[in-house]
Structure 1
Amino acid sequence: MKKLFAVIGDPIAHSMSPAMHNDLFQTYGVDAHYQPLHVKRDSLKEALIGLKAIGIAGFNVTVPHKETIIPLLDKLDPLAEAIGAVNTVVNEDGEFVGYNTDGSGYLQGLLTQWPTIKGKNILIIGAGGAARAIYFTLAQAGVKRLDICNRTIQKAEELINDCPFHVPSAAIGKEEAEINLSDYHLLIQTTPMGMAPNIDSLPLSLHKLQTDALVSDIIYNPLETKILREARNKGAKIQNGLDMFVYQGALAFEKWTGIFPNIERMKNIVLNQLGG
């Protein structure tokens, strides 16, 4: 019998995941279908009851449900529990088990552009769910320093204090980040600023950016945000969010099927969906 997989979120019509995963199921001969499901905030509990009732094999979780789904799951992977967010759920013998592949997906994608992050000073812009997953993952990876720039300093401080893995860190504001930007080898932009349709917004000035730095934006629509364009114009290396998106999806696919899929094929599917 065909297995059913899904992605739940609000909104969900924009998701690239169905095209990507359905192509993978066909490519690897897996008798399954992946369906986008529009689940509103106040309907999450009922939706999970329904998904369990129909025996769904697994599903992805996107905004705004990554944190609120946690108390509704049967089990939680330790890393997802530490991060406090879930983006992948596996039906394991009738129990919904939550995982987080965002941080590890980001790191795997980053390493394709940057062979090592050990001994590097890194600035994360933003302190939301994606920033949290990335921070927790990089904190274990041997970086020299890992600071967070956020509009609300307290939220960045809470993120740092919640992390069970120690790394030298500071929560800083936009002005301090701009003044000290030359201290960082890598900038990771995790806020919605620059995402379509608000493509002209910029989280901070890159006036003092090192020319040999890497600026990484987890947004992939547009493929080149304003911060990436400005970084490229200054001679810095840039990376958009496509690598993170496909690697977190690949890790989810592996949890569901035991198969780690072809990354380049996944990228091409997403690029075709974006119009090339």
Structure 2
Amino acid sequence: MLARITGGTCRGKAVIREDGLASVATSIKTRRDAAPDTQRILVGLIGRGIQLSRTPAMHEAEGRARGIAYIYRLLDADGMGDGRVRLEEIVSFASYFGFDGLNVTFPYKQDIIPLLDELSEAAEAIGSVNTVVLRGGRRIGHNTDLHGFRESFTHEMIGARQDSVLLLGAGGAGAAIAYALLESGIGQLHLFDVAQARAAALSARLEGRFGADRVTVASDVVAVAARVDGIVNATPVGMAKLPGIPLHPALLRPDCWVADIVYFPLETQLLAEARRRGCRTLSGESMAVHQAARAFQLFTGIAPDIDRMRTAFAAFDESPAAGPEGSGPATAD
């Protein structure tokens, strides 16, 4: 089911300035003119500081394997002139140049919603969008983070205790992870965010769907961490651009599993400290692959080969590339 959005959407003509969008436009034209295949797909990733994203590599590798002229471009706001380019301008640029879809990452997963025409049921419930299908002049928002984490957690954490979980971060990614955890059957979810109002707002939405007895807002993260079965980091802390650890390492107990949805680096400080203390861990790799696979299917109508996309993910060189060919961030925000 899709929810129609009433409200202002950006429909202005794209303004191509010498701020990064112009070079992307040139590379798009070159690749499209050179592509001999009949099916052509043009998508992009919108975010900030996304030059190490493995998403383009996964999509383009799967596209090549399917005989599709698949072009995936980074629309990195940090690389566009003085960095003050507006989200509305980037989305208008994509529409103007005939993009078939967009992936959306930190910090735009919630900000993009007013610019869309419709939302999938999951995106509407979560209040976060990480995938936009551009079709027939309309912008349709989806959330594949939920699917990605749910698949990752279900397959990689078999046998893990799930009575109670502490979730760090209640932003766009955190909201999707919260839904995925509750749908996966955890008993009680404790939400913590440095912005308590954001955690409270997410808690209210979750309570309406899953019941008040399964969701709480954690005011004392130390006390909660001392008794939960698992901890999930859904903040951007730990990304290459935002190094650090979202909670004190002393709070990591060997009988508590730890998951981090950040995928570059795969070995975040949180996961390294957790392993050192004997915790079972889950990196952001599997979630990244599964959410990308679902997005690929939304863009093309073709079910991708998960193992092939996983291989492309693992083979990606994390060294920053120069110019618009470089690649993007974790899904956390």
**TM-score calculated relative to the size of structure 1:** 0.88
Question: For residues 206-225 of structure 1, what are the structure 2 equivalents within 5 Å?
Answer: 206-207=249-250, 209-225=252-268
Q: What amino acid does structure 1 have at the position aligned with 2:71?
A: H
> What is the alpha-carbon distance in structure 1 between the residues aligned to residue 254 and residue 160 of structure 2?
17
1:87-124 residue CA offsets vs partner (Å, 9 max, x unmatched): 11112333211101112211111112113678531110
Question: For residues 104-253 of structure 1, what are the structure 2 equivalents within 5 Å?
Answer: 104-115=147-158, 120-163=163-206, 164-167=208-211, 168-173=214-219, 176-199=220-243, 201-207=244-250, 209-253=252-296
> What is the alpha-carbon distance in structure 1 between the residues aligned to residue 251 and residue 94 of structure 2?
50
Per the TM alignment, residue 53 of structure 1 is displaced from its structure 2 partner at its CA by 3.1
1:207-243 residue CA offsets vs partner (Å, 9 max, x unmatched): 3544243200111222212221121122211111111
Structure whose alpha-carbon radius of gyration is higher: 2
Q: What amino acid does structure 1 have at the position aligned with 2:94?
A: L
Mind listing any 5+ residue stretches in structure 1 that lack a counterpart? none
CA contact (8 A) 2:52 2:264 kept: no
- Alpha-carbon spacing, 1:181–1:43, altered in 2? closer, same or farther (3 Å): closer
Deviates further, 264-273 or 27-36:
264-273
CA contact (8 A) 1:202 1:226 kept: yes
Partner SS state of residue 165, structure 1: helix
Aligned to 1:27: 65
**Deviation above 6 Å: which 4+ runs of structure 1?**
none
Per the TM alignment, residue 160 of structure 1 is displaced from its structure 2 partner at its CA by 0.4
- Alpha-carbon spacing, 1:127–1:14, altered in 2? closer, same or farther (3 Å): same
1:21-74 residue CA offsets vs partner (Å, 9 max, x unmatched): 111100122232111123466533233333223332112112232212111112
Q: What amino acid does structure 2 have at the position aligned with 1:5?
A: V
> What is the alpha-carbon distance in structure 1 between the residues aligned to residue 259 and residue 130 of structure 2?
21
Q: Select 1:7's aligned residue among 40, 45, 59.
A: 45
- Alpha-carbon spacing, 1:17–1:275, altered in 2? closer, same or farther (3 Å): closer
Aligned to 1:273: 316
Partner SS state of residue 252, structure 1: helix
Aligned to 2:106: 63
Deviates further, 81-90 or 8-17:
8-17
Q: What amino acid does structure 2 have at the position aligned with 1:177?
A: V
- Alpha-carbon spacing, 1:45–1:105, altered in 2? closer, same or farther (3 Å): same
1:169-212 residue CA offsets vs partner (Å, 9 max, x unmatched): 22113xx332342422221011222222554x222234354424
- Alpha-carbon spacing, 1:189–1:32, altered in 2? closer, same or farther (3 Å): same
CA RMSD of aligned residues (A): 2.4
Q: What is the number of equivalent residue pairs in this alignment?
A: 273
> What is the alpha-carbon distance in structure 2 between the residues aligned to residue 218 and residue 267 of structure 1?
16
CA contact (8 A) 1:219 1:240 kept: yes
> What is the alpha-carbon distance in structure 2 between the residues aligned to residue 225 and residue 3 of structure 1?
33
Mind listing any 5+ residue stretches in structure 2 that lack a counterpart? 1-37, 78-82, 320-333
Identical amino acids, percent of aligned pairs: 34
- Alpha-carbon spacing, 1:89–1:119, altered in 2? closer, same or farther (3 Å): same
CA contact (8 A) 1:60 1:88 kept: yes
> What is the alpha-carbon distance in structure 2 between the residues aligned to residue 32 and residue 193 of structure 1?
32
Aligned to 2:17: none
